[in-house]
Amino acid sequence: MTKTKVGIPFLICAISVSLTSCFNDFEDRGYYSANLTSFGFDEHDRCPDIEDYTFYIDSYHGVAADGTSGMVFNKDSLPYGSDVSSLFPALDVQSTNGQCYFDGVIWDDDEDSIDFRNPVIMKNTSADGYYTKSYTIFVNVHQVNPDSMSLHRMSAALPSSIGVNRVIKTSLGIFDYSADPSNGFKVFTSQDTFRTWNSVTVTGLNSQMDIASVVDFGGGCYALSTNHEAYTASDGVNFTAVTPVESGGGSITLLKVLGSLAFPTSVPAKASILAGIAISSSGDTCFATSEDGLTWEKGSKVEADFPFTDFGITKWSTATGIQNLTVVGGLNAQGSYVKTVWATNEGLNWSPINTSRIEYFAPPIRKNPSLFVYDGILVCYGGRNENGNITSTFRISRDFGLTWEDAPDLWILVGLTSGLSGSGVYVDSSVSSLDDKNRDFIYLIGGEIPTGNSSIVWKVFQNMMLFKRR
């Protein structure tokens, strides 16, 4: 009997041919896939810049309700009002047999425009006819103008109507202070960003308080009376009288406490200071600062056009963390309207940062405006003009006080056309988890209206603050 041997070289050759055949089949299947590889749109006069938008392709997660196995979408929505009713897709697929459908209608890429006002289903079949892939295509368009302001009345009003008031955030919550002839202050507090309010009883005050001289300091509150008596309250409501002195031991009279400034860790000599105006032991009216609210260092003399009453003031930080105080509007010591914007980053010296006589760039001339920083812009809202009338207009400064302009028409608060004067203001700011831009919401609290005082709390924001991605 003869045995036949199969040589090893033959076996290796057979295995090699088999593997080559398998890999060829795999490559053919990959080539004949029906998947999209790119998607966008041709230039179109009716939808400017549509060709510049990026559309993302997800070939693995479709829309169950549509029966699709993939989706296409733009993360950055098209501008509000964009016309997407007649667009020309520009797409690439791995292969096609020419049977490409949009919403069940075969597509001629040279002739047919598509209406994308609603999601559109695209279906493509591979060149060999074996595979079909379907996608739900979303062309996202802003449904509201992202730059327009929205105004919402909070459901919880203040416990009572108040006029000029000051909002301070302390370590114990947010406090709103207004004048009360019988008790120095009327104080309301909120622990849930103005969804609810509580009245708080104040103790330790002996006279009427100066609302313009209530500031946050050391996690609590520092305040002056209209008789220039100084008080501190670590909890914001139980005040203790203190006696300020001039550094070196002389007597000093505080006229105003303007605000507080915290210094970055790169300034080791000081952590934070109070900034104010005082009459020094030599009789000069000077700017002054204090690290503890007791001992005050005098600075430069106060100039004639610096405001003493009815001004708006806000604190803001530079990109490097340096805090600044900026003052707008109000009346000077002679009772005249102030037409210069003032600022400081150390309290002992204040600088005029706007002396323009060009009307377009001129700062707001108002009593008791609400001054705040919103989305990186210095904003002045409301107050009383030189005729004593309450205004409802915004003036904004993109360079923090140097030049000013009217806010865009989209900022008009339709439900608040009568305006406010002396309204407390608080800007709630948080960093978005999707990008590095803050989400800022303005709260206007109480204040004077043409018919008296108000108890309403208004929430104001640009619509873009609600978008998942700004």
- Cβ proximity of 71 and 62 under 8 Å: yes
Contacts of 383 (CB under 8 A, 6+ apart): 312, 329, 364, 366, 367, 368, 369, 370, 390, 391, 421, 422
Q: What per-residue confidence (pLDDT) applies to 430?
A: 78
Number of Cβ within a 10 Å radius of residue 177? 25
- Residue 64 clears pLDDT 60, i.e. is over it: yes
What is the rounded end-to-end Cα distance, in angstroms, of the chain? 86
Given a cut of 50, whether residue 319 has pLDDT beyond it is yes
pLDDT value at residue 432 = 65
d(CA 365, CA 240): 36
Closest listed residue to residue 428, CA positions, set 172, 174, 162: 174
Q: What is the mean pLDDT of residues 454-467?
A: 90
Strand ranges in 369-416 using DSSP code E only, listed in sequence order: 370-374, 377-381, 394-397, 405-406
Q: Extract the tokens encoding 104.
A: 């069940």
pTM of the model: 0.76
Q: Is residue 297 over pLDDT 90?
A: yes
Cα-flanking dihedrals φ and ψ of residue 174, to 5°? -105, 130
Burial 363-382 (b: 16+ CB within 10 A, else e): bbbbbbbbbbbbbeebbbbb
Residue among 323, 377, 366, 327 nearest 346 (CA): 323
Query: At residue 20, does pLDDT exceed 90?
Result: no
Higher pLDDT among residues 109 and 119, named by residue: 119
**69-112 confidence digits (pLDDT tens):** 999 999 988 988 899 999 999 999 999 998 899 999 999 877 78
Number of alpha carbons in the 13 Å side-chain half-sphere of residue 342: 25
Predicted pLDDT at 26: 41
Q: Which of 125-129, 227-231, 260-264, 395-399 has the lowest mean pLDDT?
A: 260-264
Cα atoms in the Cβ-side hemisphere of radius 13 Å centred on 27? 6
Please give the average per-residue pLDDT across 50-78, as a whole number. Answer: 93
Mean pLDDT of all residues belonging to the chain: 87
Identify the bridge partners of residue 124 per DSSP, sorted by sequence position: 100, 133
Q: How far apart are CA 75 and CA 442, in angstroms?
A: 27
Element spanning 8, H or E? helix 8-31
Q: Closest Cα to residue 277, out of 253, 294, 293, 261?
A: 253
Q: Where are the domains of the chain?
A: 30-137, 144-159+309-470
* Residue 13 confidence (pLDDT): 39
* Closest to 165 (Cα-Cα) out of 380, 423, 382, 373: 423
Give the pairing type, strands 245-246 and 295-301. Answer: parallel
More confident site: 58 or 147: 58
Return the pLDDT at 436: 60
Asked if 55 contacts 145 with a C-beta cutoff of 8 angstroms, the reply is no
The answer to which of 28-37, 375-384, 402-411 has the lowest mean pLDDT is: 28-37
Q: Contact at 8 Å (CB) between 53 and 85?
A: no
CB-based contacts of 95, cutoff 8 Å, min separation 6: 31, 32, 33, 34, 126, 127, 128
Note the pLDDT tens digit of each residue in 322-366.
Answer: 999 999 999 999 999 999 999 999 999 999 987 555 666 788 899
Q: CATH number of the domain at 30-137, please? A: 2.60.40.2340
Burial state string for 138-147 with b = 16 or more CB within 10 A and e = fewer than 16:
bbbbbeeebe
Spacing of C-alpha 102 from chain mean position: 41
pLDDT tens digits for 177-195?
A: 998 877 778 999 999 999 9
Residue with tokens 């007597």: 251
3-state SS class at 218: coil
**pLDDT tens per residue across span 409-457:** 889 888 888 899 999 999 998 776 655 667 899 999 999 999 999 999 9
Distances (CA, A) of 356 to 200, 376, 399, 463: 44, 22, 14, 33
Read off the pLDDT of residues 269-296 as tens digits, 9 standing for 90 and up. 568 899 999 999 999 999 999 999 999 9
Give the residue, 421 or 206, on which the prediction is more confident.
421
pLDDT at residue 186, rounded to an integer: 92
Interval 36-54 mean pLDDT: 94
Confidence band of 11 (pLDDT split at 50, 70, 90)? very low
